[in-house]
């Protein structure tokens, strides 16, 4: 996910942060975050991570627990161990078998609003007229 040009900030398993994290680079969280992550780079939410808050990132790979919404400019990747409770929005989405996800998703590769095409106008159908002097199936004979 990372382009290799930026440094990565690391929140280790023994760390707990309460508040907002803002980063112009990439961030890996293996500890706890009670707050928001705003990251113009990529984010990795490790298996041991527990996050209560929203993410606004370029791309994110989630392996741990997240209770909050995710807005990614490019891609959201949920690994098999991920537990996500919140709405997600991105251009691309990858979900492995085994993920727990409760929320709404909006995935739009083109990034343009998707409208519902207008319904086709029904064509006029001529009413069939019964034939004159012809007995029907239930007529007396």
Tell me how far apart the 2 most distant CA atoms of the chain are, in Å: 94
Task: Establish if 71 belongs to a structural domain.
Answer: yes
Output 137 or 93, whichever has higher pLDDT: 93
Cα–Cα distance between 84 and 62 in angstroms, integer? 8
* 2 has pLDDT over 60: no
Task: Establish if 15 belongs to a structural domain.
Answer: yes
Which residues constitute the domain of residue 54?
Answer: 8-103
Task: Establish if 77 belongs to a structural domain.
Answer: yes
Assign 52 to helix, strand or coil. Answer: strand
- What radius of gyration, in Å, describes the C-alpha atoms of the chain? 27
Region 88-113: mean pLDDT is 91
Q: Are 25 and 38 in contact (CB under 8 A)?
A: no
pLDDT per position as a tens digit, 25-77: 999 999 999 999 999 999 999 999 999 999 999 999 999 999 999 999 999 99
Task: Establish if 115 belongs to a structural domain.
Answer: no
Q: Percentage of residues in the chain with pLDDT exceeding 70?
A: 74
Task: Establish if 140 belongs to a structural domain.
Answer: no
Instruction: Give the global pTM.
Output: 0.75
Nearest to 54 by CA among 77, 38, 32: 38
Region 9-25: mean pLDDT is 96
* 106 has pLDDT over 90: yes
Q: Which uninterrupted H or E stretch holds 38? A: strand 37-39
Number of domains in the chain: 1
What is the DSSP code (8-state) at residue 108?
-
Task: Establish if 24 belongs to a structural domain.
Answer: yes
CA-CA distances (angstroms) from residue 2 to 5, 22, 137, 139, 141?
8, 17, 75, 80, 85
Task: Establish if 13 belongs to a structural domain.
Answer: yes
Q: Tokens for 31?
A: 């500890």
Cα–Cα distance between 136 and 141 in angstroms, integer? 10
Task: Establish if 123 belongs to a structural domain.
Answer: no
What pLDDT band is residue 113 in, cutting at 50, 70 and 90? Answer: low
């Amino acid at each position: 996910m990372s382009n290799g040009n930026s440094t990565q900030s690391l929140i280790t398993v023994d760390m707990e942060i309460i508040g907002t994290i803002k980063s112009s680079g990439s961030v890996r969280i293996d500890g706890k975050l009670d707050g928001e992550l705003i990251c113009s780079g990529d984010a990795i939410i490790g298996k041991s991570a527990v996050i209560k808050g929203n993410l606004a990132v370029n791309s994110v790979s989630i392996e741990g627990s997240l209770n909050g919404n995710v807005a990614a400019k490019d891609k959201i990747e949920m690994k098999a161990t991920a537990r996500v409770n919140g709405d997600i929005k991105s251009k691309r989405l990858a979900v492995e078998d085994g993920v727990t996800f409760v929320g709404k998703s909006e995935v739009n590769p083109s990034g343009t609003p998707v409208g519902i095409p207008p319904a086709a106008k029904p064509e006029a159908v001529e009413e069939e007229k019964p034939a004159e002097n012809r007995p029907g199936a239930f007529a007396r004979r």
